[in-house]
Structure 1
Amino acid sequence: MAEGPEPASEDFSICTDELHEGIESSSSKFADDTKLGKAQQRLKERYRLGSLLGRGGFGSVFAATRLSDGAPVAIKRVPQNRVHHWGELLLEWVELPNDILMVLERPEHCQDLHHFIRARGFLSEGVARQLFHQVLEAVWHCTSCGVLHRDIKPENILVDLATGQAKLLDFGCGTYLQEAAYTHFAGTPSYSPPEWTRFGWYYGEPATIWSLGIVLHQMVCGEHPFRRDQNISWDHQLSLPQRLSPECQDLIRQCLSMLDVERPSLEEVFCHPWMQDIHLP
């Protein structure tokens, strides 16, 4: 996991041969490097590289196919100086002189939650409840493993269009969970809690609950609860559509409490009345 500056927005204009060129460039500079030669050969023997999928502040991601069984994978190219802590990777990695290539799972027939919501305007409470519960379970698993994601937003949640299963992605801003306050922010500014904006610190769980509240609002309302670049005042009154059930409105308001001590814990969110009667895919 990386502890670094806030990731930049995705840029799809770069050449799709970037990964190939990066490998070839490294190879020409380090022709006598046996380790590099073996790494490059292993990559070519196991995977067929495809097109660029996207690029963010922590690296570029390319489509690929595992030759042994035809499984779709994603290969992420990350500069070595952006990686400070290592956890377990899903499939494997290849180390180059200046970069690390991470081979990751690439689910097909999926859509990120941002586009999933936008295509529908907003989600019914039933659909939102199922997806939100799965996101909560993913966040709960992360925290139980001592990991703080720090960039929970619809763009980082993948929805399987066939099964309705949701997955939490992109741990580039993740760090180790700690009891003390964090004084460094990594993530998307529009999902940062008000205590960070005003005081320059935040605690892991309350900040996570704040971002989850924004995600839930986006699910059932179709939009971010706060306008872009808007400074959230401490007396801000959140306006919610009357069509939402009282239970749904209550959960959103609790998660978006201005005071971090007034936000519910993850366990309390799970136990909230709106989260009951879940029918998972």
Structure 2
Amino acid sequence: GLASARLWACWRWRCWAGISARGWALWLRLARARPRPRRRLRPRPRPRPRLLPGPAEDTRGTAAAASAAASPARAPLLSSAAAGPEPPVSRSRDRRPGDGRPEAVEGRSGAAPGPGPSADSRVPPAGKAQEALQQRYRVGSLLGRGGFGSVFAATRLSDGAPVAIKRVPRNRVRHWDELPDGTSAPLEIVLLDKVSTGFPGVVQLLEWLELPNNIVMVLERPERSQDLLHFIRARRFLSEEVARQLFRQVLEAVRHCTSRGVLHRDIKPENILVDLATGQAKLIDFGCGTYLQDTAYTHFAGTLSYSPPEWTHLGWYHGEAATIWSLGILLYQMVCGQHPFRRGRKI
């Protein structure tokens, strides 16, 4: 009887210990599985993109440009419709960067090259370049933003002339080449240096600077201007007389670039700037440009809705033939007011 009582007490203690152990294990599992409250972090405010320190925008210059754009044009063929907004930068989403083929550069434009070695070793050349840019230009509002950078309205302080400052992040520049003086520069600047010398149909490169994180280009900007896309939309479509005048200027600009061995590869209304005071059309934005070659291109650059059918079906194209195709679409948009192939497969 005594042995049985002891065995009963021992068995009861073991049962209690086992149940307690299982209970503690279950409690630990539940405690581990319970999600812990995470600490919320406040997002840091993103800084507003600015080209240079100083005033964010020039309200006087913007207001003056807006009032000037609202006044009627002086050119006899362009005076029938009012001027619209002034966005000289392409905002196309299906645009791709160009591929360049390094060659020897012939000719030299009046554009000022980038800053060279500084005589004062205590101040880095990039710092002097940015300081000089601030002293020569007053940066205004943002005109447009595209796949290759941003364009700001600016005023040259020496004479008050309106200019456009294009800022391209350095990490987006994929192809470099050399200017006639041996300076290494992005391919877009080298191409502009070849075609913008003394020719009114191509936007003039006034100056370019190389900063630590950006490439800055100073371009001419007519005081009263409008890209061809908004020029057409403001009138729904162009008369044959106006279309003939503008299209002939575009053809002359393309022929000039071809004679210099430059292929634009992104001809469309957004990349043609119209001076509302004179009726002069200017070809802008050589970010997709490359050197003209006789063989076929196997890498596309530009806007897909303007690509030739051989690229859509075969995956290659020739430079001059693709240019003629995009010019045909451009002429159709001028006289009809809309794109003939809104969807890529319809090409």
The question of 1:44 aligning with 2:131 is answered: no
Q: Deviations over 1:46-84 (max 9, x none)?
A: 111111111111111111111110001111111224152
CA contact (8 A) 1:16 1:52 kept: no
Aligned to 2:169: 79
**Residue 16 of structure 1: how far off its partner (Å):** 6.4
Percent identity (aligned): 76
Offset from partner CA, 1:77-129 (integer Å, 9 cap, x none): 11224152241271111211121111111112111111111111111111111
User: Which structure carries more relative contact order (alpha carbon 8 Å, separation 6+)?
Assistant: 2
Alpha-carbon distance between aligned partners in 1 of 2:293 and 2:344, rounded to the nearest angstrom: 29
For residues 226 and 48 of structure 2, what CA distance do their matches in structure 1 show?
A: 21
Tell me what 2:154 maps to.
64
Secondary structure of 1:131's aligned partner = helix
The alignment's TM-score, normalised by the length of structure 1, stands at: 0.71
Which digits, 9 at most, give the CA deviation of each residue in 1:117-161, with x for residues without a partner?
111111111111111000000000000010000000011111112
Kept after mapping to 2: 8 A contact 1:16/1:51 = no
Q: 3-state SS of the aligned residue for 2:52?
A: helix
Are 1:140 and 2:172 an aligned pair? no
**Aligned to 1:172, what secondary structure does the other structure show?**
coil
Aligned twin of 2:52: 20
CA contact (8 A) 2:143 2:151 kept: yes
Structure-1 residue corresponding to 2:7: none
Which residue is equivalent to 1:98? 213
Distance of 1:221 and 1:229 partners within structure 2: 19
What SS does the corresponding residue of 1:115 show, helix, strand or coil? helix
1:154 and 2:186 aligned: no
Off by >6 Å, runs of 4+ in structure 1? none
Alignment of structure 1 residues 121-200 onto 2, 5 Å:
121-200=236-315
Q: Distance in 2 between matches of 1:62 and 1:215?
A: 26
The letter for the 2-side match of 1:18 is: R
Match of 1:53 in 2: 143
Q: Residues 229 and 200 from structure 1, CA distance in 2 versus in 1: closer, same or farther, beyond 3 angstroms? A: closer
Aligned residues: 210
Looking at structure 1, the residues matched to 47 and 343 of structure 2 have their Cα atoms a distance apart, in angstroms, of 30
**Cα offset, 1:15, TM superposition:** 7.5
Give distance in 2, aligned partners of 1:41 and 1:164: 36
For 2:273, the aligned partner's letter is L
User: Could you tell me whether the CA contact under 8 Å between 2:139 and 2:153 is conserved in 1?
Assistant: yes
Bigger mean CA offset, 93-102 vs 210-219: 93-102
Shift of 1:212: 0.2
In 2: Cα distance, 1:163 partner to 1:93 partner: 27
Bigger drift between 57-66 and 86-95 goes to: 86-95
Q: How far 1:228 moved relative to its partner?
A: 2.9
Quick one: distance in 2 between partners of 1:191 and 1:215? 9
Following superposition, the deviation at residue 40 of structure 1 comes to 1.4
2:343 aligned with 1:228:
yes
- Give 1:21 deviation, angstroms: 5.9
Partner AA of 1:215 in structure 2: L
Which TM-score applies when normalising by structure 2?
0.58
Unmatched 5+ residue regions in structure 1? 1-13, 23-31, 233-281
CA contact (8 A) 2:52 2:134 kept: no
Rounded Cα–Cα distance in structure 2 between residues aligned with 1:61 and 1:179: 33
